[in-house]
Chain A
């Protein structure tokens, strides 16, 4: 699920703080923005834009945080609109719907806990790579020469 790896260089104190904040930003937005799933993505994206000219370490973690929010956005948007259609249209509550909501809650919880874990560790200077998001980030985020 998560891998602790050695980063290419030793990041400075201010970098650790900024990188850790990118995760905290998404967490804060989740709390503030629930049940609208778009809020956390917008918050993380703004933070990403603000830090896109930062050091490699900060950019790397901002990208990882953004990617994790993107997948949540897709999943939560579907859950959100499905729920809206039940409440405001004539859709009924089915086993499929309840199963989807359970899966969405489980994935959100895992994401929430992992985000806290990574935020704490990043602040301590430990470079944590998320399964899938870490691999994707390595592909997207390159070190500037």
Chain B
């Protein structure tokens, strides 16, 4: 019996010892795991963007692009986020929605801009989506919802259009998990504060949209896909109260009005 116990102990030590020793090697770097995941993310991002580009109408007004770019540039610079990583696209659609795609693609619908009462509200939503990108929530959501095998099959060209369509729909209209949403909200407030943008309007925006009783619910995708908006508005206010900052506007009121007018046309 003693012999068996010694042998079992030895086997266990051998197994765990070998595992522990091998775990000290940076296999992730050796096998270029990150690079391969990045490549997959890149392919998926381009594929989904292509899908939205072909199915929706993209903004062609240079002035509108420049104004949105200045907001995004300001937010990225203030938070040391690589601006090249965030690829902003404005789509002309009445839906109040903005969402992130893999590989840093950020889609903003004109409906969202038109329904924002101030540039701070829009900046808040943009920060929330940038937070999802920076915190790598997009790929996590995709893997959780669809599985990596399906994602790989899409990138290798085996995914049919229906699969791409369904996955794209998932990205544009389904919320992240409650914890991920909260994490993105908190990060968004940090981004806003670093950029000296008042986060209160972001909370107001959440609250305001949750109060609207929409006649056409699908126009309120951003809020309907982000449940518990009131609760979120509350913790955004609570969190931002703890921080003091001098607030500034990113663009002038005139430019903001011009942006809305351009999108209305």
Q: Do A and B come from one complex?
A: yes
Residues 121-179 of B at the A interface (beta carbon under 8 Å): 140-141, 143-144, 147-149
Contact of B15 among A98, A103, A135, A139 (CB under 8 A): A103
Q: Which residues of A contact B144 (CB under 8 A)?
A: 89-90
Is the Cβ of A89 less than 8 Å from the Cβ of B143? yes
Residues of A contacting B31 in the complex (Cβ-Cβ under 8 angstroms): 98
Closest partner residue, chain A, to B11 (CB atom): A132
Q: How far is the CB of B8 from chain A (nearest CB, A)?
A: 7
Question: A81 within 8 Å of B by Cβ?
Answer: no
- Mostly, the A contact residues are helix
Partner of A94, one of B22, B28, B140, B148: B28
User: Which residues in chain A, 40-97, are within 8 Å of chain B measured between CB atoms?
Assistant: 71, 75, 86-90, 93-96
Q: Does B33 contact A (CB under 8 A)?
A: yes
Could you say which residues of chain B place their CB within 8 Å of the CB of A103?
15, 18-19, 22
Taken residue by residue from 4 to 42, chain B's Cβ proximity to chain A (1 for < 8 Å, 0 otherwise) reads as 100110110001001110111111100101000100000
With an 8 A cutoff between CB atoms, is B50 at the interface?
no
B212 CB within 8 Å of chain A: no
- Report yes or no: A107 in contact with B15, Cβ–Cβ below 8 A: yes
Q: Does A131 contact B (CB under 8 A)?
A: yes
Shortest Cβ distance from residue A118 to the other chain B in the assembled complex, whole angstroms: 17
CA distance A102 to B21 in the complex (A): 11
Residues of A close to B143: CB separation below 8 A: 88-90
Given known contacts A95-B23, A95-B28, A100-B19, is B149 in contact with A90 (CB within 8 Å)? no
Question: Are A98's CB and B147's CB within 8 A?
Answer: no
- Give min CB distance, A14 to chain B, whole Å: 31
Question: Which residues of A are found within 8 Å of B148, using beta-carbon distances?
Answer: 86-88
**Is A139 a contact partner of B1 (Cβ separation < 8 A)?**
yes
Q: CA separation between A100 and B11, bound complex, in Å?
A: 15
Binding site for B on A (CB under 8 A): 71, 75, 86-90, 93-96, 98-100, 102-103, 106-107, 131-132, 135-136, 139
